[in-house]
Structure 1
Amino acid sequence: MFAKKRKLGKQINQLKVGDYYESSQTIEDKDLLLYLGLTNDSNPLYIQHDYASQTPYKRPLVPSVMLFGMVSAIVSMHLPGPGSHIVQHEMKFPRPVYHYTEVNFSIEVSSIDHENHHVYISIIGLNGDKEEVISGSLVVSPPYEPESITANTLNNF
């Protein structure tokens, strides 16, 4: 995985306002357990059915940060893609997401700042009932054009 050279995502001059990407992901037990193990998060609202049943939510929730992680993966892998870096984000989670929920993510380039090498992206996530469960915006630094390995070879001569 680390030794394989990956193709870079879209560079800033290849992006345009209106570019978008859509993806769906169902949150399974294995995903939740990997996230909770990685973060050492043992919030009973995320994993204990007996506790969650006594809250207004009635059943365990998917952590909000895990949903943001899914958005981050879309940016890193698809739009703009590999080589991108999120430099700022603002997220809202208007409805809870429960285990086994399918979330449909849509991201779209809303503006481009060539001078600062930033792309502004809007995010919407809908559950299976078409209710908004995540919305927000990102400022992303798309991949830079790598310098040629031989570009500076003869600089010392």
Structure 2
Amino acid sequence: MLDNLPRGTICIEDMEIGMSRYLLKTITDRDIELFAEVSTDRNPVHLDDDYARDTIFGGRIAHGMLTAGLISAVIGEQLPGHGTVYMGQTMKFLAPVRPGDTVEARVTVREIEHPKRRVTLDCACRVGDRVVLKGEALVLAPSAKFD
């Protein structure tokens, strides 16, 4: 399941403090397997039910960076969108994401530096009411003046 707002670009001239965009994604076993393949992170806590059952998580969990990648998707596809350049990202992982969980990844404009085209975004991922990841991103936003 992937549900999100329209994709595209919001130029810095059209941004406002508090503007927000999100996507919803249900994490599947296939997502976890593909992420393990691409990243080469084959930690058995992500891939092996028997191993993961005996960990502090009591079962398999998705890679934290798979969840973080959903933030990148919102930034690169929606807010600001196409043409955005990542400058930095901080994040804290607060709870595990499990296969079958639906993650809401949301970014919200906190600060805009028009002369430098820099935008600071609050970032959060939730599963239901539980925050599983939070942080902030600094991006170079596209501008209508530079088309």
TM-score by length of 2: 0.89
Which residue identity does 1:23 align to in structure 2? Answer: L
Q: Whole-Å Cα distance in 1 between the matches of residues 106 and 74 of structure 2? A: 9
Cα drift, residue 54 of structure 1: 0.6
Q: Identify, as 1 or 2, the structure richer in strand.
A: 2
Q: Whole-Å Cα distance in 2 between the matches of residues 52 and 22 of structure 1? A: 30
SS at match of 2:23: strand
Q: Whole-Å Cα distance in 2 between the matches of residues 60 and 87 of structure 1? A: 32
Question: Over alpha carbons, which structure has the higher Rg?
Answer: 1
| 2:89 corresponding residue in structure 1 | 89
| 2:118 corresponding residue in structure 1 | 118
Answering whether residue 21 of structure 2 is matched by residue 24 of structure 1, we say no
Q: Whole-Å Cα distance in 2 between the matches of residues 147 and 112 of structure 1? A: 17
Displaced runs of 4+ in structure 1, greater than 6 A?
A: none
Q: Identify, as 1 or 2, the structure richer in helix.
A: 2
| 1:33 corresponding residue in structure 2 | 33
Q: Structure 1 residues 54 and 8 mapped into 2: Cα distance closer, same or farther (>3 Å)?
A: closer
Give the gaps of 5 or more residues in structure 2.
1-6
The residue correspondences of 1:4-153 to structure 2 (distance < 5 A) are 9-128=9-128, 130-145=129-144
Provide, for residues 104-150 of structure 1, a one-character-per-residue CA deviation record: whole Å limited to 9, x for no partner: 1221101101122110100121112x1110111000111244767xx
RMSD, aligned α-carbons: 1.7
Count of residues paired in the alignment: 141
Which residue identity does 1:66 align to in structure 2? Answer: L
Q: Structure 1 residues 75 and 54 mapped into 2: Cα distance closer, same or farther (>3 Å)?
A: same
Q: Whole-Å Cα distance in 1 between the matches of residues 8 and 78 of structure 2? A: 10
Q: Percent identity between the aligned chains?
A: 26
SS at match of 1:67: helix
Q: Whole-Å Cα distance in 1 between the matches of residues 55 and 30 of structure 2? A: 24
Paired residues of 1:8 and 1:83 also in contact (CA < 8 A): no
TM-score by length of 1: 0.83
Paired residues of 2:17 and 2:111 also in contact (CA < 8 A): yes
